[in-house]
Amino acid sequence: MRVLLTGAAGFIGTRIRARLADAGHDVVAVDALLPAAHGEDADLPADVTRVDVRDAAAVAAALEGVDVVCHQAAVVGAGVNAADAPSYASHNDLGTAVLLAEMFAAGCQRLVLASSMVVYGQGRFVCPEHGDVDPQPRRREDLDAGVFDHRCPLGGERVDWALVGEDAALRPRSLYAASKVAQEHYALAWSESTGGSVVALRYHNVYGPGMPRDTPYSGVAAIFRSALEAGDVPRVFEDGGQMRDFVHVDDIAAANVAAVEAGLDGFDAFNVCSGRPVSILDVATELCDARADVAPVVTGQYRSGDVRHIVADPAKAERVLGFRAVIDPADGLTEFATAPLRG
């Protein structure tokens, strides 16, 4: 198939491009090469064309003869400042709307969309007395006192994390998350109005060789790595017990190839995760141990708006797409401890 891949020069896009080519697909690779993601002096790879997905004419030209679009281009990050909102809305949401409009004009009916776990908000929690509950956001006075876990809104009991399925409510807690929810909603509406197919892949914490070093795109694993390279120690917020799912970039690429080849109808969303939950402290410890370096420091500090736990259920992706991550985080993080990063 002929596949238009946006964001093709990025950390994830580069791996998807190689995996699609290895699978025999003809890849049309485009990227806007935004300085925030690639640095001010980055060169565009020879086999990638500079295209901003907000540019309708450029997108229309790139879509010629394309069977399916694999849309990775996005501005990412926590979005803690309201001033970031126009950038997210422009690059992520307007860009997706332009892409969908040009796909309709070109008669291209299939989209694979890079979404994110952030659409779920604070994840899923279960009270031992009341079952599934939706706890209130953590209070500053509790966080200041070192009480990091959520409490049941009904009886005050400590609640435990549970796997989040794709049918969970979408409740964004950051500007970036709001833009990813909007992308999914645009794609859903486009699918229902045109009869097109959309596979939304909700990535969890992606890591691996070639990850950006010190940008808003970095993620906690790369931040820990950068600290070690600088002769510092990884500093872990809260008590380090925050549970996440870390998924290797090569598994992300494999999930995209599976989605491109699935031939599904309508709109559907899938968690893309390792299925092996790990704590943030364990991630920092794995990296330190692999480098025979210092031990991480648990600071007890916190960031307002951070999510305590969010861990995904991988079952649907395996059942429908035939995808299951093959790289155990224990092995992948050991490799990542010394793997090259992007500058």
Domain total of the chain: 2
Please report the pLDDT score of residue 38 as a whole number: 72
Query: In this predicted structure, what is the pLDDT of residue 292?
Result: 83
pLDDT confidence bin for 341, thresholds 50/70/90: confident
Whether residues 103 and 139 share a domain: the answer is: no
Check which CATH number belongs to the domain holding 173 and give it.
Answer: 3.40.50.720
Report the distance separating Cα 292 and Cα 207, nearest Å. 20
Residues 160-189: pLDDT tens digits?
999 999 999 999 988 999 999 999 999 999
Are residues 115 and 139 both part of a single domain?
no
Please indicate, yes or no, whether residues 153 and 264 belong to a single structural domain of this protein. no
Asked if residue 234 belongs to a domain, the reply is no
Residue 136 shares a structural domain with residue 107: no
Q: Are residues 14 and 71 in the same domain?
A: yes
Q: What is the mean pLDDT of residues 184-197?
A: 98
Q: Are residues 90 and 40 in the same domain?
A: yes
> Roughly what angle, to the nearest 10 degrees, separates helices 11-22 and 249-262?
50
Determine how many CB atoms are found less than 10 A away from the CB of residue 265: 13
pLDDT band at residue 74 using 50, 70 and 90 as cut-offs: very high
Tell me: do 83 and 199 sit in the same domain.
yes
Is the CA virtual torsion 27, 30, 35, 39 positive or negative?
positive
* Interval 64-69 mean pLDDT: 98
Tell whether the model's pLDDT for residue 2 goes beyond 60: yes
Instruction: Output the pLDDT for position 332.
Output: 96
Q: What is the pTM of this model?
A: 0.95
Burial class (CB in 10 A: 0-12, 13-18, 19+), 240: buried
- pLDDT tier for residue 214 given thresholds of 50, 70 and 90: low
Q: Is 312:163 a contact under the CB 8 Å cutoff?
A: yes
Same domain, 129 and 179: no
Any domain includes 229? no
Domain of residue 71, residue span = 2-122+164-212+246-274+312-328
Q: Mark whether 47 and 183 lie in a shared domain.
A: yes
Expressed in angstroms, the distance from the first to the final Cα of the chain is: 33
Residue type, 306: D
In a domain, 295, yes or no: no
